[in-house]
Chain A
Protein backbone atom coordinates (compact mmCIF):
# COMPACT_ATOMS: atom_id res chain seq x y z
CA UNK A 1 0.00 0.00 0.00
CA UNK A 2 2.71 2.37 1.09
CA UNK A 3 4.75 1.56 -1.97
CA UNK A 4 1.82 2.51 -4.13
CA UNK A 5 1.82 5.88 -2.46
CA UNK A 6 5.53 6.22 -3.14
CA UNK A 7 4.70 5.82 -6.81
CA UNK A 8 2.82 9.11 -6.69
CA UNK A 9 6.02 11.06 -6.18
CA UNK A 10 6.59 11.93 -9.85
CA UNK A 11 3.05 13.14 -10.27
CA UNK A 12 3.39 15.12 -7.05
CA UNK A 13 6.60 16.79 -8.21
CA UNK A 14 5.02 17.54 -11.56
CA UNK A 15 1.73 18.86 -10.21
CA UNK A 16 -0.32 16.09 -11.82
CA UNK A 17 -2.34 15.04 -8.79
CA UNK A 18 -5.89 16.06 -7.99
CA UNK A 19 -6.31 18.13 -4.84
CA UNK A 20 -7.53 15.06 -3.01
CA UNK A 21 -4.58 12.91 -4.16
CA UNK A 22 -2.18 15.67 -3.31
CA UNK A 23 -3.50 15.84 0.22
CA UNK A 24 -3.17 12.08 0.58
CA UNK A 25 0.33 12.16 -0.73
CA UNK A 26 1.43 14.97 1.53
CA UNK A 27 0.22 12.94 4.49
CA UNK A 28 2.26 10.04 3.21
CA UNK A 29 5.26 12.26 2.66
CA UNK A 30 5.30 13.28 6.30
CA UNK A 31 6.10 9.75 7.37
CA UNK A 32 7.88 8.29 4.34
CA UNK A 33 11.58 8.92 4.60
CA UNK A 34 12.39 7.46 1.23
CA UNK A 35 9.98 9.85 -0.53
CA UNK A 36 11.36 12.77 1.46
CA UNK A 37 14.91 11.87 0.51
CA UNK A 38 14.02 11.38 -3.13
CA UNK A 39 12.15 14.66 -3.29
CA UNK A 40 15.05 16.55 -1.71
CA UNK A 41 17.40 14.92 -4.14
CA UNK A 42 15.27 15.87 -7.14
CA UNK A 43 15.04 19.43 -5.93
CA UNK A 44 18.76 19.79 -5.59
CA UNK A 45 19.62 17.85 -8.75
CA UNK A 46 17.26 19.96 -10.85
CA UNK A 47 18.35 23.28 -9.38
CA UNK A 48 20.51 24.26 -12.34
CA UNK A 49 18.23 22.97 -15.08
CA UNK A 50 16.34 26.25 -15.59
CA UNK A 51 19.60 27.77 -16.81
CA UNK A 52 19.38 25.50 -19.83
CA UNK A 53 16.61 27.78 -21.06
CA UNK A 54 17.43 29.63 -24.23
CA UNK A 55 17.00 33.38 -23.71
CA UNK A 56 13.64 34.57 -24.99
CA UNK A 57 12.79 38.24 -25.25
CA UNK A 58 9.51 39.04 -23.46
CA UNK A 59 6.73 40.90 -25.23
CA UNK A 60 7.30 44.63 -25.03
CA UNK A 61 5.55 46.31 -22.13
CA UNK A 62 5.47 43.14 -20.04
CA UNK A 63 7.06 44.83 -17.08
CA UNK A 64 4.41 47.49 -16.99
CA UNK A 65 1.59 45.03 -17.41
CA UNK A 66 2.87 42.73 -14.70
CA UNK A 67 3.77 45.34 -12.12
CA UNK A 68 0.72 47.52 -12.60
CA UNK A 69 -1.63 44.57 -12.44
CA UNK A 70 0.01 43.46 -9.21
CA UNK A 71 -0.19 46.88 -7.62
CA UNK A 72 -3.69 47.53 -9.00
CA UNK A 73 -5.05 44.23 -7.84
CA UNK A 74 -3.82 44.84 -4.38
CA UNK A 75 -5.47 48.20 -4.32
CA UNK A 76 -8.75 46.60 -5.27
CA UNK A 77 -8.36 44.01 -2.56
CA UNK A 78 -7.73 46.73 -0.06
CA UNK A 79 -10.92 48.50 -1.02
CA UNK A 80 -12.80 45.24 -0.69
CA UNK A 81 -13.43 45.03 -4.39
CA UNK A 82 -13.08 41.43 -5.45
CA UNK A 83 -13.42 42.14 -9.12
CA UNK A 84 -10.32 41.10 -10.94
CA UNK A 85 -8.76 41.78 -14.27
CA UNK A 86 -10.54 45.03 -14.79
CA UNK A 87 -9.39 46.64 -17.96
CA UNK A 88 -6.88 49.20 -16.87
CA UNK A 89 -8.41 51.74 -19.17
CA UNK A 90 -11.59 51.61 -17.13
CA UNK A 91 -9.83 52.51 -13.94
CA UNK A 92 -10.45 55.96 -12.64
CA UNK A 93 -7.14 56.37 -11.04
CA UNK A 94 -3.72 55.27 -12.03
CA UNK A 95 -1.01 55.74 -9.43
CA UNK A 96 2.20 56.49 -11.14
CA UNK A 97 5.71 56.14 -9.92
CA UNK A 98 7.63 59.00 -11.32
CA UNK A 99 11.11 57.96 -12.31
CA UNK A 100 12.66 60.93 -14.04
CA UNK A 101 16.24 59.71 -13.79
CA UNK A 102 15.82 56.36 -15.39
CA UNK A 103 15.28 55.64 -19.01
CA UNK A 104 12.04 53.77 -19.07
CA UNK A 105 9.76 52.68 -21.78
CA UNK A 106 6.68 51.30 -20.16
CA UNK A 107 3.36 51.62 -21.87
CA UNK A 108 1.40 53.12 -19.03
CA UNK A 109 3.91 54.34 -16.52
CA UNK A 110 6.10 55.48 -19.36
CA UNK A 111 3.30 57.44 -20.92
CA UNK A 112 2.47 59.15 -17.68
CA UNK A 113 6.10 59.82 -16.91
CA UNK A 114 6.77 61.27 -20.33
CA UNK A 115 3.63 63.31 -20.10
CA UNK A 116 4.78 64.66 -16.78
CA UNK A 117 8.33 65.21 -17.88
CA UNK A 118 7.07 67.22 -20.75
CA UNK A 119 4.83 69.20 -18.45
CA UNK A 120 7.68 70.04 -16.17
CA UNK A 121 9.25 71.72 -19.11
CA UNK A 122 6.10 73.62 -19.82
CA UNK A 123 5.51 74.51 -16.22
CA UNK A 124 9.06 75.73 -15.85
CA UNK A 125 8.61 77.88 -18.86
CA UNK A 126 5.35 79.30 -17.60
CA UNK A 127 6.50 80.06 -14.09
CA UNK A 128 10.09 80.95 -15.00
CA UNK A 129 11.38 79.04 -12.01
CA UNK A 130 15.07 78.69 -12.67
CA UNK A 131 15.81 75.81 -10.31
CA UNK A 132 13.15 73.62 -11.77
CA UNK A 133 14.34 70.23 -12.90
CA UNK A 134 15.75 70.49 -16.35
CA UNK A 135 13.30 68.76 -18.63
CA UNK A 136 14.43 65.33 -19.65
CA UNK A 137 14.96 64.95 -23.33
CA UNK A 138 11.69 63.42 -24.38
CA UNK A 139 12.02 59.73 -25.08
CA UNK A 140 8.55 59.31 -26.40
CA UNK A 141 6.37 61.42 -28.56
CA UNK A 142 3.45 62.41 -26.43
CA UNK A 143 1.03 64.79 -27.97
CA UNK A 144 -0.47 67.14 -25.49
CA UNK A 145 -3.22 69.05 -27.16
CA UNK A 146 -3.53 71.79 -24.73
CA UNK A 147 -1.97 72.75 -21.45
CA UNK A 148 -4.87 74.42 -19.74
CA UNK A 149 -3.48 75.37 -16.39
CA UNK A 150 -0.28 74.94 -14.44
CA UNK A 151 0.02 75.50 -10.72
CA UNK A 152 3.04 75.63 -8.47
CA UNK A 153 2.46 73.71 -5.27
CA UNK A 154 4.05 74.65 -1.99
CA UNK A 155 3.68 73.84 1.64
CA UNK A 156 1.68 76.68 3.21
CA UNK A 157 3.95 76.45 6.26
CA UNK A 158 7.20 76.27 4.32
CA UNK A 159 9.50 73.34 3.74
CA UNK A 160 11.43 71.63 1.01
CA UNK A 161 8.54 69.82 -0.62
CA UNK A 162 7.32 71.31 -3.85
CA UNK A 163 5.30 70.28 -6.82
CA UNK A 164 3.35 71.18 -9.88
CA UNK A 165 -0.17 70.51 -10.99
CA UNK A 166 -1.43 70.87 -14.50
CA UNK A 167 -4.67 70.40 -16.23
CA UNK A 168 -4.12 69.06 -19.67
CA UNK A 169 -6.36 68.05 -22.46
CA UNK A 170 -4.79 65.02 -24.00
CA UNK A 171 -6.58 63.47 -26.92
CA UNK A 172 -9.68 65.40 -25.95
CA UNK A 173 -9.69 64.00 -22.42
CA UNK A 174 -8.92 66.35 -19.58
CA UNK A 175 -6.39 65.04 -17.09
CA UNK A 176 -5.04 66.43 -13.90
CA UNK A 177 -1.33 65.81 -13.68
CA UNK A 178 0.33 66.28 -10.31
CA UNK A 179 4.01 65.87 -9.66
CA UNK A 180 5.83 66.52 -6.41
CA UNK A 181 9.36 66.33 -5.07
CA UNK A 182 11.17 66.17 -1.77
CA UNK A 183 8.24 64.60 -0.03
CA UNK A 184 8.64 62.86 3.29
CA UNK A 185 8.92 59.09 3.12
CA UNK A 186 5.79 57.14 3.94
CA UNK A 187 5.40 54.18 6.21
CA UNK A 188 2.92 51.32 6.22
CA UNK A 189 -0.17 52.01 4.15
CA UNK A 190 0.32 55.75 4.10
CA UNK A 191 -0.25 57.50 0.82
CA UNK A 192 -0.28 61.00 -0.56
CA UNK A 193 -3.76 62.05 -1.64
CA UNK A 194 -4.59 64.85 -4.06
CA UNK A 195 -7.77 66.81 -3.40
CA UNK A 196 -9.69 69.43 -5.34
CA UNK A 197 -11.76 71.75 -3.22
CA UNK A 198 -14.92 73.56 -4.24
CA UNK A 199 -16.48 75.77 -1.58
CA UNK A 200 -14.34 73.96 0.97
CA UNK A 201 -15.63 70.53 -0.09
CA UNK A 202 -12.84 68.09 -0.99
CA UNK A 203 -13.03 65.66 -3.88
CA UNK A 204 -10.43 62.92 -4.36
CA UNK A 205 -8.22 63.55 -7.36
CA UNK A 206 -5.44 60.97 -7.31
CA UNK A 207 -3.35 58.94 -4.88
CA UNK A 208 0.35 58.26 -5.06
CA UNK A 209 3.32 56.91 -3.19
CA UNK A 210 6.65 58.65 -3.84
CA UNK A 211 9.83 56.81 -4.73
CA UNK A 212 12.92 56.66 -2.54
CA UNK A 213 14.00 60.13 -3.58
CA UNK A 214 10.66 61.55 -2.43
CA UNK A 215 9.39 62.13 -5.94
CA UNK A 216 5.91 61.09 -6.91
CA UNK A 217 3.35 61.77 -9.57
CA UNK A 218 -0.19 60.88 -10.47
CA UNK A 219 -2.50 61.55 -13.35
CA UNK A 220 -6.21 61.71 -12.76
CA UNK A 221 -8.94 61.77 -15.38
CA UNK A 222 -11.09 64.88 -14.96
CA UNK A 223 -14.09 63.35 -16.63
CA UNK A 224 -17.15 65.05 -15.17
CA UNK A 225 -15.01 67.27 -12.94
CA UNK A 226 -13.82 69.82 -15.45
CA UNK A 227 -16.49 72.47 -15.26
CA UNK A 228 -16.64 72.97 -11.53
CA UNK A 229 -15.36 76.03 -9.75
CA UNK A 230 -12.33 74.57 -8.05
CA UNK A 231 -10.72 76.94 -5.60
CA UNK A 232 -7.85 74.94 -4.17
CA UNK A 233 -5.74 71.94 -4.95
CA UNK A 234 -4.19 70.27 -1.92
CA UNK A 235 -2.09 67.20 -1.19
CA UNK A 236 -2.35 65.55 2.18
CA UNK A 237 -0.54 62.66 3.80
CA UNK A 238 -3.18 60.05 4.53
CA UNK A 239 -3.01 56.99 6.80
CA UNK A 240 -4.23 54.85 3.90
CA UNK A 241 -4.99 55.16 0.19
CA UNK A 242 -8.76 55.19 0.67
CA UNK A 243 -9.57 58.28 2.73
CA UNK A 244 -12.89 59.75 1.63
CA UNK A 245 -12.10 63.02 3.36
CA UNK A 246 -8.70 64.43 4.29
CA UNK A 247 -7.42 62.97 7.58
CA UNK A 248 -3.84 64.17 7.49
CA UNK A 249 -2.03 67.48 7.26
CA UNK A 250 -1.72 69.42 4.06
CA UNK A 251 1.77 69.00 2.67
CA UNK A 252 1.33 70.93 -0.57
CA UNK A 253 -1.34 73.27 -1.85
CA UNK A 254 -2.16 76.01 -4.30
CA UNK A 255 -5.01 78.33 -5.04
CA UNK A 256 -6.47 77.68 -8.44
Chain B
Protein backbone atom coordinates (compact mmCIF):
# COMPACT_ATOMS: atom_id res chain seq x y z
CA UNK B 1 0.00 0.00 0.00
CA UNK B 2 1.38 3.32 -0.99
CA UNK B 3 1.12 5.70 1.91
CA UNK B 4 1.97 8.47 -0.46
CA UNK B 5 -1.09 7.73 -2.58
CA UNK B 6 -3.35 7.74 0.42
CA UNK B 7 -1.91 11.01 1.63
CA UNK B 8 -2.38 12.57 -1.80
CA UNK B 9 -5.91 11.23 -1.97
CA UNK B 10 -6.67 12.72 1.43
CA UNK B 11 -5.41 16.08 0.21
CA UNK B 12 -7.53 15.79 -2.93
CA UNK B 13 -10.57 15.41 -0.68
CA UNK B 14 -9.61 18.80 0.71
CA UNK B 15 -9.56 20.22 -2.80
CA UNK B 16 -5.80 20.43 -3.05
CA UNK B 17 -5.12 20.93 -6.75
CA UNK B 18 -1.42 20.15 -6.39
CA UNK B 19 -2.27 16.78 -4.89
CA UNK B 20 -4.56 15.94 -7.79
CA UNK B 21 -1.80 16.99 -10.13
CA UNK B 22 0.67 14.71 -8.35
CA UNK B 23 -1.67 11.75 -8.69
CA UNK B 24 -2.20 12.70 -12.28
CA UNK B 25 1.53 12.77 -12.98
CA UNK B 26 1.96 9.44 -11.30
CA UNK B 27 -0.83 7.57 -13.06
CA UNK B 28 -1.35 9.36 -16.35
CA UNK B 29 0.59 6.96 -18.50
CA UNK B 30 -0.61 3.78 -16.86
CA UNK B 31 -4.24 4.86 -17.03
CA UNK B 32 -3.89 6.06 -20.60
CA UNK B 33 -2.14 2.89 -21.71
CA UNK B 34 -4.68 0.67 -19.96
CA UNK B 35 -7.56 2.66 -21.45
CA UNK B 36 -5.97 2.35 -24.84
CA UNK B 37 -5.65 -1.39 -24.43
CA UNK B 38 -9.36 -1.52 -23.71
CA UNK B 39 -10.71 1.00 -26.21
CA UNK B 40 -8.09 0.91 -28.96
CA UNK B 41 -8.82 4.57 -29.42
CA UNK B 42 -6.67 7.49 -28.33
CA UNK B 43 -9.51 9.96 -28.07
CA UNK B 44 -11.60 7.67 -25.91
CA UNK B 45 -8.56 6.91 -23.80
CA UNK B 46 -8.08 10.57 -23.04
CA UNK B 47 -11.74 10.80 -22.10
CA UNK B 48 -11.30 7.87 -19.77
CA UNK B 49 -8.38 9.55 -18.02
CA UNK B 50 -10.42 12.71 -17.72
CA UNK B 51 -13.38 10.80 -16.26
CA UNK B 52 -11.18 9.10 -13.70
CA UNK B 53 -9.69 12.34 -12.40
CA UNK B 54 -13.02 14.12 -12.57
CA UNK B 55 -14.49 11.42 -10.35
CA UNK B 56 -11.56 11.77 -7.99
CA UNK B 57 -11.89 15.52 -7.81
CA UNK B 58 -15.67 15.68 -7.50
CA UNK B 59 -15.62 12.73 -5.11
CA UNK B 60 -18.18 10.81 -7.14
CA UNK B 61 -16.24 7.76 -6.12
CA UNK B 62 -14.71 7.42 -2.69
CA UNK B 63 -11.75 5.34 -1.76
CA UNK B 64 -10.81 3.81 1.53
CA UNK B 65 -8.16 1.26 2.25
CA UNK B 66 -10.75 -1.49 2.75
CA UNK B 67 -11.10 -1.36 -1.04
CA UNK B 68 -7.55 -2.58 -1.50
CA UNK B 69 -4.71 -0.79 -3.18
CA UNK B 70 -5.37 2.75 -4.32
CA UNK B 71 -3.89 2.01 -7.71
CA UNK B 72 -6.23 -0.97 -8.18
CA UNK B 73 -9.18 1.16 -7.25
CA UNK B 74 -8.11 3.81 -9.76
CA UNK B 75 -7.69 1.19 -12.48
CA UNK B 76 -11.14 -0.21 -11.75
CA UNK B 77 -12.63 3.24 -12.17
CA UNK B 78 -10.75 3.53 -15.45
CA UNK B 79 -12.04 0.17 -16.65
CA UNK B 80 -15.62 1.10 -15.83
CA UNK B 81 -15.23 4.48 -17.50
CA UNK B 82 -13.79 2.81 -20.60
CA UNK B 83 -16.71 0.38 -20.73
CA UNK B 84 -19.20 3.24 -20.37
CA UNK B 85 -17.60 5.29 -23.10
CA UNK B 86 -17.31 2.35 -25.46
CA UNK B 87 -20.99 1.63 -24.97
CA UNK B 88 -21.92 5.24 -25.58
CA UNK B 89 -19.77 5.71 -28.61
CA UNK B 90 -20.16 2.25 -30.08
CA UNK B 91 -16.94 3.14 -31.73
CA UNK B 92 -14.80 0.26 -32.79
CA UNK B 93 -12.22 1.61 -35.15
CA UNK B 94 -10.78 -1.71 -36.02
CA UNK B 95 -12.81 -4.70 -35.19
CA UNK B 96 -10.10 -7.21 -35.66
CA UNK B 97 -10.59 -10.78 -34.66
CA UNK B 98 -10.10 -9.42 -31.17
CA UNK B 99 -6.72 -7.97 -30.39
CA UNK B 100 -4.37 -10.70 -31.46
CA UNK B 101 -2.95 -8.74 -34.35
CA UNK B 102 -2.07 -5.89 -32.05
CA UNK B 103 0.18 -8.09 -30.02
CA UNK B 104 2.64 -8.04 -32.89
CA UNK B 105 4.18 -4.69 -32.04
CA UNK B 106 4.31 -5.45 -28.38
CA UNK B 107 7.22 -3.71 -26.74
CA UNK B 108 9.91 -5.61 -24.97
CA UNK B 109 9.96 -5.74 -21.20
CA UNK B 110 12.86 -3.31 -21.19
CA UNK B 111 10.69 -0.64 -22.73
CA UNK B 112 8.04 -0.97 -20.08
CA UNK B 113 9.87 1.21 -17.70
CA UNK B 114 7.09 2.61 -15.58
CA UNK B 115 5.21 -0.45 -14.49
CA UNK B 116 7.92 -2.90 -15.35
CA UNK B 117 7.97 -4.42 -11.91
CA UNK B 118 4.26 -5.15 -11.85
CA UNK B 119 4.25 -6.19 -15.48
CA UNK B 120 7.07 -8.71 -15.43
CA UNK B 121 5.36 -11.41 -13.42
CA UNK B 122 1.93 -11.10 -14.96
CA UNK B 123 3.35 -10.97 -18.46
CA UNK B 124 5.48 -14.05 -18.00
CA UNK B 125 2.59 -15.89 -16.38
CA UNK B 126 0.35 -14.94 -19.27
CA UNK B 127 2.70 -16.48 -21.81
CA UNK B 128 2.45 -19.85 -20.08
CA UNK B 129 -1.30 -19.90 -20.57
CA UNK B 130 -2.66 -21.65 -23.63
CA UNK B 131 -3.87 -19.36 -26.37
CA UNK B 132 -7.44 -20.34 -25.55
CA UNK B 133 -7.11 -19.13 -21.96
CA UNK B 134 -5.35 -15.94 -23.00
CA UNK B 135 -8.25 -15.32 -25.31
CA UNK B 136 -10.77 -15.84 -22.54
CA UNK B 137 -8.98 -13.24 -20.44
CA UNK B 138 -8.79 -10.76 -23.30
CA UNK B 139 -12.44 -11.11 -24.22
CA UNK B 140 -13.60 -11.01 -20.65
CA UNK B 141 -11.33 -8.43 -19.05
CA UNK B 142 -9.90 -6.13 -21.71
CA UNK B 143 -12.66 -6.27 -24.29
CA UNK B 144 -15.34 -6.45 -21.58
CA UNK B 145 -17.59 -8.37 -23.95
CA UNK B 146 -21.04 -9.52 -22.94
CA UNK B 147 -21.65 -13.01 -21.68
CA UNK B 148 -23.37 -13.92 -24.93
CA UNK B 149 -20.62 -12.53 -27.09
CA UNK B 150 -17.90 -14.33 -25.22
CA UNK B 151 -19.85 -17.56 -25.67
CA UNK B 152 -20.19 -16.92 -29.40
CA UNK B 153 -16.57 -16.06 -29.92
CA UNK B 154 -15.38 -19.09 -28.02
CA UNK B 155 -18.12 -21.27 -29.46
CA UNK B 156 -19.16 -22.37 -26.02
CA UNK B 157 -22.56 -22.87 -24.45
CA UNK B 158 -23.59 -19.87 -22.32
CA UNK B 159 -23.55 -21.98 -19.17
CA UNK B 160 -19.88 -22.87 -19.42
CA UNK B 161 -18.45 -19.36 -19.92
CA UNK B 162 -18.22 -18.47 -16.28
CA UNK B 163 -16.30 -21.67 -15.54
CA UNK B 164 -13.84 -20.94 -18.35
CA UNK B 165 -13.23 -17.44 -17.06
CA UNK B 166 -12.61 -18.73 -13.57
CA UNK B 167 -10.25 -21.41 -14.80
CA UNK B 168 -8.23 -19.00 -16.92
CA UNK B 169 -7.90 -16.47 -14.11
CA UNK B 170 -7.00 -19.14 -11.56
CA UNK B 171 -4.40 -20.58 -13.86
CA UNK B 172 -2.90 -17.14 -14.37
CA UNK B 173 -2.80 -16.59 -10.64
CA UNK B 174 -1.11 -19.93 -10.03
CA UNK B 175 1.57 -19.07 -12.56
CA UNK B 176 2.05 -15.67 -11.01
CA UNK B 177 2.45 -17.07 -7.53
CA UNK B 178 4.97 -19.59 -8.84
CA UNK B 179 6.99 -16.75 -10.37
CA UNK B 180 6.85 -14.65 -7.29
CA UNK B 181 8.33 -17.66 -5.53
CA UNK B 182 6.36 -17.02 -2.38
CA UNK B 183 8.27 -13.81 -1.83
CA UNK B 184 6.39 -10.92 -0.51
CA UNK B 185 5.37 -8.66 -3.31
CA UNK B 186 6.45 -5.07 -3.53
CA UNK B 187 3.56 -2.73 -3.49
Residues of A within 8 A of B (CB): 7-11, 14-16, 38, 41-59, 62-63, 65-67, 69-71, 73-74, 97, 209, 211-212
What are 25 of the A-B contact pairs (CB < 8 Å)?
A7-B147, A7-B159, A8-B147, A10-B147, A14-B144, A15-B84, A15-B87, A16-B87, A38-B166, A42-B165, A43-B68, A44-B68, A45-B169, A45-B170, A50-B30, A51-B30, A54-B112, A55-B107, A55-B111, A55-B114, A57-B29, A62-B28, A62-B46, A65-B46, A65-B50
A11–B147 touching, CB < 8 Å: yes
Q: A51-B122, A97-B17 are in contact. Are A16 and B54 (CB under 8 A)?
A: no
Q: Which residues of chain B have C-beta atoms less than 8 A from A54's C-beta?
A: 33, 37, 106-107, 112
B30–A10 touching, CB < 8 Å: no
Q: Which residues of chain A have C-beta atoms less than 8 A from B78's C-beta?
A: 50
Residues of B within 8 A of A (CB): 17-18, 20-21, 24-25, 28-30, 32-34, 36-37, 42, 45-46, 49-50, 53-54, 57-58, 68-69, 72, 75-76, 78-80, 83-84, 87, 106-107, 111-115, 118-119, 121-123, 126, 137, 140-142, 144-147, 150, 158-159, 161-162, 165-166, 169-170, 172-173, 176
How many angstroms between the C-alpha atoms of A97 and B24 in the bound complex?
15
How many angstroms between the C-alpha atoms of A14 and B79 in the bound complex?
9
Minimum CB–CB distance from B10 to chain A (whole Å) comes to 15
Minimum CB–CB distance from B43 to chain A (whole Å) comes to 8
B87–A70 touching, CB < 8 Å: no
Q: Which residues of chain A have C-beta atoms less than 8 A from B79's C-beta?
A: 50
Q: A15-B87, A15-B144, A67-B20 are in contact. Are A48 and B176 (CB under 8 A)?
A: yes
If A41-B166, A49-B142 are given as contacts, then 5 extra A-B residue pairs at C-beta distance below 8 Å, sorted by A number, are A7-B158, A14-B83, A48-B121, A58-B42, A62-B49
Question: Number of residue pairs across A and B with beta carbons under 8 Å?
Answer: 144
Q: Would you call the interface of chain B mostly helix, strand, loop, or mixed? A: helix
A58–B83 touching, CB < 8 Å: no
Minimum CB–CB distance from A25 to chain B (whole Å) comes to 12
Instruction: In the A-B complex, list the 5 residue pairs whose CB atoms are closest, starting with the nearest.
Output: A15-B83, A45-B169, A51-B118, A10-B147, A14-B144
Minimum CB–CB distance from A84 to chain B (whole Å) comes to 11
Contact of B50 among A14, A55, A70, A212 (CB under 8 A): A70
Minimum CB–CB distance from B47 to chain A (whole Å) comes to 9
Contact of B24 among A56, A57, A66 (CB under 8 A): A66
How many angstroms between the C-alpha atoms of A60 and B10 in the bound complex?
29
Contact of B122 among A10, A44, A52, A70 (CB under 8 A): A52
Minimum CB–CB distance from A29 to chain B (whole Å) comes to 15
Residue in B closest to A6 when the chains form the complex, CB atoms: B162
Minimum CB–CB distance from B18 to chain A (whole Å) comes to 6
B161–A62 touching, CB < 8 Å: no
Q: Which residues of chain A have C-beta atoms less than 8 A from B25's C-beta?
A: 63
Minimum CB–CB distance from A219 to chain B (whole Å) comes to 17
B54–A70 touching, CB < 8 Å: yes
Q: Which residues of chain B have C-beta atoms less than 8 A from A66's C-beta?
A: 24, 46, 49-50, 53
Contact of A45 among B28, B142, B146, B172 (CB under 8 A): B172
Q: Which residues of chain B have C-beta atoms less than 8 A from A62's C-beta?
A: 28, 32, 46, 49
Contact of A10 among B20, B46, B162 (CB under 8 A): B162
